[in-house]
């Protein structure tokens, strides 16, 4: 699990700049459905603040997609900036923002044993198919809408909760095989049908629910 160098450098530069510009500044750690991450907050008006952060994590799982058993990894990788409108005399806020979204599904087919693969409605042997490898990616820039709750509990130490939706957009899927029939046109036609079916099933993830808990230190 690694943050890219560019994201880390940009975040560090932003945090340093914000810290110099204003005393109402906080840094924190977060964990939730976007992974684990860091966040900086700069409040330049009593009712408005700006936050930047980065999240990263790999969820490993296995299951069936489009009739084929896969080992799967959901690789979470986002960098974001949000504006937060605070409700007067309340810890609640409305959050809108944009994410540099590099979330991906990485799928590798599991050995079917003595059974055949059903690809695009056609049957192929395990030798003909080899291993299926799929990558599903989403929109590079994804809008976010949510609500949040901020509270200080020990002086400058506080916690925050976030609930929202990251609109990732319709996934784009690439699907490849490395078996004996990989270069045959009949197999390629079936593989394209399988890719479209996989793309359709993963469409459920275009709206990604966001729930996170954060710890923050306010300067």
Average pLDDT over residues 170-186: 95
Residues 6 or more apart whose Cβ sits within 8 Å of residue 124: 116, 117, 179, 181, 187, 190
Report the share of the chain in percent with pLDDT over 90: 75
Instruction: Categorize the per-residue pLDDT at 7 as very low, low, confident or very high, splitting at 50, 70 and 90.
Output: low
Query: pLDDT, tens digit, for every residue of 108-150?
Result: 999 988 889 999 999 999 999 999 999 999 999 999 999 999 9
Q: Is the pLDDT of residue 5 over 50?
A: no
Q: Is the pLDDT of residue 9 over 60?
A: no
Tell me the domains of the chain and their CATH numbers. 5-218 (2.40.160.170)
Q: Is the pLDDT of residue 22 over 50?
A: no
Provide the whole-model pTM: 0.84
Query: pLDDT, tens digit, for every residue of 67-108?
Result: 899 999 999 999 999 999 998 888 999 999 999 999 999 999
The answer to whether residues 160 and 216 touch, using CB atoms and an 8 Å cutoff, is: yes
């Amino acid at each position: 699990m690694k943050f890219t160098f560019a994201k880390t450098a940009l975040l560090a530069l932003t945090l340093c700049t914000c810290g110099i510009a204003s005393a109402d500044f906080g840094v924190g750690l977060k964990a939730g459905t976007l992974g684990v991450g860091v966040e900086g907050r700069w409040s330049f008006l009593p009712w408005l603040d700006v936050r930047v952060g980065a999240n990263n994590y790999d969820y490993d799982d296995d299951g069936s997609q489009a009739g084929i058993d896969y080992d799967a990894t959901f690789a979470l990788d986002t960098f974001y900036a949000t504006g937060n409108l605070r409700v007067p005399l309340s810890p609640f806020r409305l959050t809108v923002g944009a994410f540099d979204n590099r979330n991906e599904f990485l799928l590798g087919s599991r050995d079917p044993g003595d059974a055949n693969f059903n690809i695009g409605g056609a049957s192929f042997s395990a030798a003909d198919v080899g291993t299926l490898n799929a990558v599903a990616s989403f929109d590079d820039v994804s809008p976010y809408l949510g609500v949040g709750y901020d509270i200080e509990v020990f002086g400058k130490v506080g916690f925050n909760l976030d609930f929202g939706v990251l609109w990732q957009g319709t996934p784009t899927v690439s699907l490849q095989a490395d078996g004996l029939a990989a270069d045959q046109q009949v197999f390629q036609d079936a593989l394209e049908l399988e890719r479209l079916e996989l793309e359709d099933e993963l469409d459920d993830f275009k709206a990604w629910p966001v729930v996170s808990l954060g710890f923050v230190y306010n300067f």
